[in-house]
Chains A and B, each alone.
Chain A
């Protein structure tokens, strides 16, 4: 296992958001119903934070090993919308077995999610 990782995702799509709604059970219309989201003042639908958390979680599980992960946490910083390309990053911290994580929108380098993970000692 390396001490850091970086991956770039394919652009987020509406179909992906709908797939995740079905998988995870989040049917808040802000995430799939464009007229509803626009009536609520949003430019477009936006991905559920749990989708970004799941995409990063998948990459972290591959990086650290699924069964090695003891803890994983995320803080949502900005909305992710269809078309966004996400850059997933993780690196080991000074504390052994603790890792810091970020998800950044590639187009404007905005951090949309920050997180952490720990592995079993």
Chain B
């Protein structure tokens, strides 16, 4: 079970390219124009290819059977284009423990700042992960 001692923990760190081929696959999956050069608002999700989910569950001491994603927010600070390389780390920024009649519910906030090669932060993704009672 995650608790306040996990705040500040770096879960993992990764680097990935914004690839034209990935964008085409993405467009086909969501019914968008496959020739668009626009990078989707939620494209930071492709970092899933480079993240260590098993490590996250272990580091946060979670019961994977009880874990759900409550929501995700993206803050777009600077333009991102095909060919950019993005890097960042997932960091726990808050752990909120709520006592329920059926047990403990834990809300974990994880923030990922993705930077371009020139160091500018282009997008900040905030995940709210819930461990149900």
Contacts and interface: CB of A to CB of B under 8 A. Distances in A.
Interface string A19-36: 110111110000000000
Contact of B46 (A9, A10, A24, A60): A24
Interface string B68-107: 1111111110010000000000000000000000000000
Interface in B51-68: 51, 68
Contacts of A57: 30, 40-42
Interface residues of A, number: 30
Interface string A50-69: 11011101101100001101
A76 B69 contact: yes
**Interface size band for B:** 20 to 34
B5 interface: no
Contacts of A22: 25, 29
Interface in A64-94: 66-67, 69-76
B69 A70 contact: no
Contacts of B26: 20, 23-24, 54
B88 to A, nearest CB: 15
B22 interface: yes
Contacts, number: 95
A55 B39 CA distance: 13
A23 B46 contact: yes
A69 B38 CA distance: 12
A106 to B, nearest CB: 16
Most chain A CB neighbours (cut-off 10 Å) among B30, B69, B75: B30
Interface of B: 22, 25-26, 28-32, 38-42, 45-51, 68-76, 79, 126
8 contacts: A10-B31, A23-B25, A25-B48, A51-B29, A61-B40, A72-B73, A73-B74, A73-B126
Interface of A: 9-10, 16, 19-20, 22-26, 49-51, 53-55, 57-58, 60-61, 66-67, 69-76
Given A54-B30, A73-B126, 5 more contacts: A26-B45, A51-B29, A67-B79, A71-B76, A74-B73
